[in-house]
Structure formats: C-alpha cells, structure tokens
Structure 1
Amino acid sequence: MKSKIIEGFSKLNKEEKINWLTKQYGGGSEGLKNILTQYWNHNADLQKLHDEFAENTISNFYLPYGIAPNFLINDDIYVLPMAIEESSVVAAAAKSAKFWLNKGGFKTKLLGSTKLGHIHFMYKGDASKLLQWFKIHLKEKLIKQSMDLTKNMRMRGGGITNIELVDKSNELENYYQIKGSFNTQDSMGANFINSCLEQFSITFKAEFQKSNIFDEEEKNNFQIIMSILSNYTPDCMARAEVSCKIKDLRDDISISPEEFAWKFKQAVEIAEVEPYRAATHNKGIMNGIDSVILATGNDFRAVEACAHTYASHTGKYTSLTHCEIKNDRFRFWIDLPISLGIVGGLTNLHPLVIASLQILNNPSAEKLMQIAAVAGLAQNFAAIRSLITTGIQKGHMKMHLTNIINQLGATEEEKKTILDIFKEKTISYHLVFEELERLRKENNVKER
C-alpha cells in the first residue's frame, strides 16, 4: 500500500508520471502506457499547450467534434459546432434546425447580462446601524478603492453596476452579504469578479475596524467568511423561441398538426409539474447546450449549475422550456440563465475553440449565450417530437448501433451486414450480439 503513495508527483515529467502509474496501477504491463501515449499530439508545440491547460497532465482525452447545420437564427444561417460523445445529439439538433428552417427559424434575444458575486460575512449587532453605515460610507469606498481593477473593464463598457448589503440573518444567525453586480462584457468574468470581491473584502474589513460607529463588541463579533462569485446568474439571461401556425406543424409521420401541438404542449406541462420527468427533460436540453459550451471553450459545469438552480428557483424543480397554444399558433421557448465569454480562458489558446468561434462568425458573448439557448431548445424539441410520435429509442438506438457493433469487435464486412439487418428491426445489445454470433457461425460453416 505504501508503494502507491508518492511525494512530488507534480514535479515528475510526463514520461516519469506514466511510468510510475503503469508500474503501480497498470500491473507493470505496456498496455496502459501505450494507451496513454498514443493519444499524445504529434505536434510538440500543440501538445505542450494542452499539457499546460491543467495539472499533472499525462495524455489527451478526445471527444467527437461535430457540426449541426441549417440553423436559421434571427434571419441568419448558422452551423453549430458541438463537442459531445453521446449518440444522436448532433443528429437531433440538425433535424430540429431543418424542421424550423422554413417556419421562420429561431428567434432570440438577451434578457439581461448582470453577473453576481458576494462577500459572505458574520455580524452580531444592530442590522439597521450596519445598513446605514453601508449606504452612507462603505458603498462609495468599495467602488473607489477598486477602480484600478475595474479600469480596463470600464473602458470596454462594463464594470461594477451595483453593490448591496443583504441581511440573511433570518436564514442563518448573524449571516449577511455584500452583493456585487457586474457587467463583464465579452469575458466570462470569473477572475475579474473575484478580484473585485477580494478588494472589497480588504476595504470592508479595514473600514469596519476603524469606524467609530461600531463598538468593540460588534467589532469582535464581525468576521468575513469568504468572497466569491456566484455561478447562479438569474439576471444574465437569454431567450430562444420558435413559433408557427398549428397547421404548419406537419410531421413526417401519421399524426395531425393539431394532435402534435396538443401532445407536445402536454409533454412540456408534465415536465413543468413533475420533477422526475423534469430532470430527464432538462438533461436533454443540456445535451445541446453543453456540447456548444465545450466546443467554444466555456465552463459547462458553471452553466449546468446555473441552469439547474434556476429550474429550482420556485422551490420545486421544473422544466427550463415552456409551450403555449394561442390563436391557432404554437409557441415553444426557453429562458436560459447563462454566463459565457469569448475572451480569456481557453478561448484564445485552444485551436478548436478558436475554430468554433470562427465558425459561429466570432459572436459577442451575448450572441453566444443566445446561440447556446437555441442549441438547448432545438435538442428539447427533437426529444419531445420523438417521444410523442415514434418513441425515443428508435432514433437513439439507431445512432447507438455503431457503438454496439464496435464493442463486439465486428469486421467492416460484418458491420455492413448488421447495419442492413437492423434498418427496421428493434435494436438492443442482446439482439445485435445474437445476430453477430449467428452471422459468424454461418460464415464459419461456409469457410469449411
């Protein structure tokens, strides 16, 4: 057991890390080493760039990078770059894009761009006294003493938009916040916001301790706990929607437009009231959003956290999308809280991220937010469309069939035969396995 504990792992070079890992966790065989090294990039400069994105890097983990074409968004045609490993996501997005192409396409707009951060602190004293001191003295000081940090952002049209004192002591004894609101323009803004908050904390602590408003007991019972941005940004919001006359909702199966619209609306309303369904419903939405987020070098974990928090903001987890039928028109939309950037992070470093932004016509951060919302709406439309008509498995398992065949080690000739056999048949791992075994037995008999 002690041999598996290592000091100074981060100081080893990549080859040394792999050799140690292979010896301790790979049984000493060359198999693990070969797997890890075969995914190195042959371009040494590019590999060095990848190695420096994170810590203790030993290899690259590749995801498929696909394109969903024919998205009509605000009267312009886009193709969406999507990085995702799940079968049918890119195909579903493209199918939705095609469905809405001659029905007006997707319409988007920005509903807000405010991002938030907080100083979390404990104060045992008179809340009204603290609030008055904050308004008269502290708020102006916080802004003034962070001006060096905000100078460049202010020159780009962003910066601090508001600072508030929030009393949360009814939820946790003696707990208060300084809530900062920010506009970070084209950057995601995490480093900017956190730097401002930490400067706020320094100013806040110094001003509080030297103030003659508070007595010694209040000063002794004051403690800043932490200063950090929030990934929940309900005032940084993009809307994407589609709409058309009900009679134009003609599908390629035997269901009337009226029945399609009614069943679709019922499916969305079920997700609005039933958390068990909403979780899967929203997961599908995030399939589309996350794949665009990954392709453009943004933080999909932050986007996920924000979206699911917003889905719960009423106190019950619910659907991120909504549907209405009014005056013989069908309308389907998403209001998505999302914070993205097109500068900073990997956006100017990762070659495929640079390519993705170029493919999207180098959008602003606000435009990228709207594009991501479209990806989520398109994915959700495709999923519900399948669920209320043919069922989800027909399309998904057809896309998954290639993965099953590869897992079973089929030859190219066997792949062609199996794909042909399952053109119209129900697909499952067990059934594909049986067909492949049958095929191999027949071929063995022929060879004899």
Structure 2
Amino acid sequence: MLEKEIIKGFSKLDKEQKVKKVAAYFPNPKEVEKELKSFWHAEIAKQKLFEEFSENTISNFFFPYGIAPNVIINGKNYMIPMVIEESSVVAAASNSAKFWSTRGGFHTQIINQTKIGQVHFTWAGDFEKLNAFFPVLKKHFFQGTDGITKNMRERGGGILDIELVDMRTEIDDYYQLKASFNTVDSMGANFINSCLEEFAEILKEKVSENIELNEYPIQVIMSILSNYTPDCLVEAWVECDIKDLEGVDPDISAEDFAWKFEKAVQVATVDTYRATTHNKGIFNGIDAVVLATGNDFRAVEACGHTYAARDGKYRSLTSIEIKEGRFKYVLRVPMALGTVGGLTKLHPLARFTMELLGDPHADDLMQIAAVAGLANNFGALRSLTTKGIQKGHMKMHLLNILNNFGATETEKQTAVEYFKTRKVSFSVVEDFINDIRQ
C-alpha cells in the first residue's frame, strides 16, 4: 500500500470520490473499487438509508442474521433473531432453548428500569449554602424542563429524582447533579441529555441570581447520561429438579452434571480470568439480540461489565443455587434498551426483528435479550463441563476454515461428511483439502 497523505475535506467528497480516495492507496484501485461497490444494496433508496446511519460511508459490512427457535419465555414461544459472526453462538442458544423447552422454559422479571444522567460542575462556595438552596433549585429543574418532559410524562416516564452529590473528596470543588429517569420504551439518551443540558443552564442562572451564592460562578464541565444503569435491571433464570437434567449428556449423570456446573459457576465468581470469558459468553447472546434490534451494544456491554465489577472485583454475572434436589441458574444484568427511536424502526431488519418478536415494549426486549445471554452461556458451560468446548465449536467453525482455502461446494460437502466423526483443526482441514485436490 502507498503511504497515506493527510486528506483535507474528505467528508465533503461524494461517495464515489471517497471510494476512489481510499482505493488509490492500493496497488489495484479498480479491483478495490469493484469490491467495495459489490456490497452496496441493489435498491438505491435502501443504500442511501444505510449510508445516513453514519458518516463517511463507502460500503456496507454484512453480518449473518440468524434465528434461535423454540425459546420459551414465561410460557410464550419466541423465535429470536441474532446478529453475530461467531460460529456456534446461535447453535448454543438454540440447543439450550430446545433443552429447556421441556423443563419449564426460561423465566424472567424486570427488577427496575431507572436510568441515570449527570451534570458535572465545580463551585468554590460554601457547600452548606448550596445544599440549603437545592430544594428551590430542584423545583426550577422540574419546571424548566416541563416542555422537554411533557410527551415522556404522558407515556408514563420522565424525571424521577434529582440529587446534589458532593464529590469534593475526589476533586477540588467538584459536584454533580445526579438525575434518575424512566424513559419507558425509548433508550432515552437524547431525552436525558436534553434535560441535563437544561439543568446546567438553570443551575448557572439561579446561582448567579442568588446573593448568597453568586460570589463564585458555576463552572459546568459537562452534562451527559451515564451508560452505567445498575438500577435498570433484568433477571432471567432456568430451574428444574436435578433428576430432570438426566440426558444433558450421555456420558454424565444428572447429579454429576449439576455438581460440575455449580463448580464452574463458582470458579467464574472468584476468578477474574474465568469471569471475563464466562461473561463474554453471556454477551455473545445479548449483543446478538441488541444488534438485531438496532440498539447500542457498546452501551449494554460497558454497563454489564461495570456491574460485574461493582464490589471491586470482576465476577460472573450469573449465580447458581442447588438445594433440596432443585437446580436454579440465574442471570441478573443491567441493560438500557429501546423499542422506539434510533434505528429500531428505521433499519429494515431491525424493524423486521421487532415484528418477529411481537413488537415488544422495552421491558419485554430486556427480558428477551437476557434470555439469549443466559441460553448461550448455559450452552457454553454445558459443553465445557461435559465433552469440551472445541468439539462443537470447531465443527461450526469448519465452513469458515474451508472458505479460507477457497473450497468448492463439492469439497465442502465432502469435508463436512468426513469431519462428522473427526476432530477439526485448521492444519487437519488444510491437509484434508490438499489430499482431495491431489
């Protein structure tokens, strides 16, 4: 590739010009242009829609859109769409769903739906005076955002509370306005941020007008929602008699499986290295649903991982209880999701996902996503504590390996049949492909 120059005004170029600029850094620019354009949508209107989701777009990046069927949640049967490129995730969720469909299915409940936003500011005056004035300020905050919150309040949401937080032990003169919100079916970022910015203006104005406080000005640092929503919680669980776990694997008894499974969860609770991979498996399922619905998986991940470390050590997001012959496996995780606004109705496949899920409210979607996380995690632990993770995972990964070698459809069919009873690895598949080509 050629050395990259500093490009000025790239955002002002049209799409064709951007493609040419990027392709010019390759020794085969015409082929690069053709490759990038091969992923454009055939329908011009849809392609334009996709381009407007982000900036400086030159192509589309495809991810597989799969379905996990037979997912019973609180007695209702779902087909759950999952957008993910990792082999075996959809299979793990589907297998877990099938397993639990005859054992009561998945159970869920919403613990809370509170979201948080903060105005971060400094002020050098007397805290006691500011604190005494805060009830008056609080009334102004609610009144001053009445126009912003009107529609949200009509839907049953709005501002729940606002508190003044003294943070001077951490940073000199530093305070927060910490506000809690219920945004009902929207993720609520724009709503929350609009309220917070209005709070900041009201704070500066009212303090400047108060003769006891205006000796020092309010210096607003920033006004922004937090993606950490520990009180926006959903819980999902499966449970059955231990004897009903019989058949989970032909080579292990129900009692031995329950014992090993419990130990595996305990390991993920006390060991950070294991907890990280354990929780990653949970987010394999959650993220896949979040992506399929056009929600923000980065926010959901950040929140979940922070919650996993809430006591100062990173731990498993799941817990297990084995008592009096009963097996109960629980996932409790915070997540802020929306079913209105953003891409949830704008992206054609996100809209399709919502329709397939029965046009869920935000609390319903939280429960569906949590179940996808628990299902994938259960499937992973089931494999780990019985036959091992690689046998199933590498079988699912086989097609990816074959595609690396440019295998034809006939070669793929031959390989799939051959590896039904053999272990899969990159080198073994490479040797197999070389042998049949000779």
- TM-score, with length taken from structure 2: 0.98
Q: 2:415: which partner in 1?
A: 418
1:208–1:248 Cα change, 3 Å: same
1:28 deviation in Å?
A: 4.5
Alignment of 1:90-239 (within 5 A): 90-135=90-135, 137-214=136-213, 216=215, 219-220=216-217, 222-239=218-235
1:175 deviation in Å?
A: 1.6
* DSSP-derived class of the 2:420 partner: coil
Q: Give CA-to-partner distance per residue, 1:401-442, whole Å, 9 cap, x none.
A: 01101111112222122212211211110111011112222x
1:183–1:27 Cα change, 3 Å: same
1:215 deviation in Å?
A: 5.4
1:212 deviation in Å?
A: 1.4
* DSSP-derived class of the 1:58 partner: coil
CA distance in 1, matches of 2:214, 2:92: 64
1:27 deviation in Å?
A: 2.3
Q: Give CA-to-partner distance per residue, 1:351-405, whole Å, 9 cap, x none.
A: 1000000010000001000111101100110000000000000110000001101
Structure 1 residue 368 and structure 2 residue 365: aligned?
yes
Structure 1 residue 17 and structure 2 residue 5: aligned?
no
1:3 deviation in Å?
A: 7.0
Aligned pairs, number:
436
* DSSP-derived class of the 1:422 partner: helix
CA distance in 2, matches of 1:3, 1:299: 32
What one-letter code is carried by the residue in structure 1 that aligns with 2:9? Answer: G
CA distance in 1, matches of 2:410, 2:231: 55
Q: Which moved more, 1:164-173 or 1:71-80?
A: 164-173
1:128 deviation in Å?
A: 2.1
Q: 2:44: which partner in 1?
A: 44
Q: 1:243: which partner in 2?
A: 239
1:285–1:2 Cα change, 3 Å: closer
CA distance in 1, matches of 2:71, 2:380: 17
CA distance in 1, matches of 2:4, 2:416: 49
Q: Could you say what the CA RMSD is over the residues aligned between the two structures, in angstroms?
A: 1.2
Q: Which moved more, 1:325-334 or 1:164-173?
A: 164-173
Alignment of 1:77-96 (within 5 A): 77-96=77-96
Alignment of 1:275-354 (within 5 A): 275-354=272-351
Q: Which moved more, 1:416-425 or 1:266-275?
A: 416-425
Q: 1:30: which partner in 2?
A: 30
CA distance in 2, matches of 1:148, 1:429: 61
1:14–1:207 Cα change, 3 Å: same
The answer on whether the counterparts of 2:20 and 2:29 sit within 8 Å (CA) in structure 1 is no
The answer on whether the counterparts of 2:261 and 2:385 sit within 8 Å (CA) in structure 1 is yes
1:171 deviation in Å?
A: 2.3
The answer on whether the counterparts of 2:207 and 2:214 sit within 8 Å (CA) in structure 1 is no
1:215–1:188 Cα change, 3 Å: closer
Q: 1:5: which partner in 2?
A: 6
What one-letter code is carried by the residue in structure 2 that aligns with 1:56? Answer: N
In the alignment, which of 424, 427, 432 is matched to residue 429 of structure 2? Answer: 432
CA distance in 1, matches of 2:258, 2:127: 53
Q: Give CA-to-partner distance per residue, 1:122-172, whole Å, 9 cap, x none.
A: 12232222211112x101111101101001101111100100011122222
CA distance in 1, matches of 2:4, 2:266: 57
The answer on whether the counterparts of 2:249 and 2:386 sit within 8 Å (CA) in structure 1 is no
* DSSP-derived class of the 1:4 partner: coil
What one-letter code is carried by the residue in structure 2 that aligns with 1:238? Answer: V
Q: Which moved more, 1:207-216 or 1:398-407?
A: 207-216
CA distance in 2, matches of 1:295, 1:257: 35
Q: 1:444: which partner in 2?
A: none
In the alignment, which of 250, 254, 261 is matched to residue 253 of structure 1? Answer: 250
In the alignment, which of 375, 378, 394 is matched to residue 378 of structure 1? Answer: 375
* DSSP-derived class of the 1:333 partner: strand
1:4 deviation in Å?
A: 2.1
Q: Gaps spanning 5+ residues in structure 1: where?
A: 442-448
Q: Which moved more, 1:318-327 or 1:170-179?
A: 170-179
CA distance in 2, matches of 1:276, 1:203: 46
1:46 deviation in Å?
A: 0.7
Q: 2:396: which partner in 1?
A: 399
CA distance in 2, matches of 1:79, 1:3: 47
* DSSP-derived class of the 1:93 partner: helix
What one-letter code is carried by the residue in structure 1 that aligns with 2:419? Answer: F
Q: Give CA-to-partner distance per residue, 1:193-226, whole Å, 9 cap, x none.
A: 000000000000111111112252xx14x31110
* DSSP-derived class of the 2:112 partner: strand
CA distance in 2, matches of 1:49, 1:248: 50
1:2 deviation in Å?
A: 8.9
Q: Which moved more, 1:407-416 or 1:334-343?
A: 407-416
1:336 deviation in Å?
A: 1.0
Q: Give CA-to-partner distance per residue, 1:40-63, whole Å, 9 cap, x none.
A: 111011111111111111111110
1:10 deviation in Å?
A: 1.2
1:333–1:13 Cα change, 3 Å: same
CA distance in 2, matches of 1:40, 1:82: 22
CA distance in 1, matches of 2:367, 2:270: 26
CA distance in 2, matches of 1:162, 1:246: 45
Q: Give CA-to-partner distance per residue, 1:63-89, whole Å, 9 cap, x none.
A: 000000001100010010000000000
CA distance in 1, matches of 2:214, 2:47: 59
CA distance in 1, matches of 2:256, 2:330: 19
Percent identity reads 56
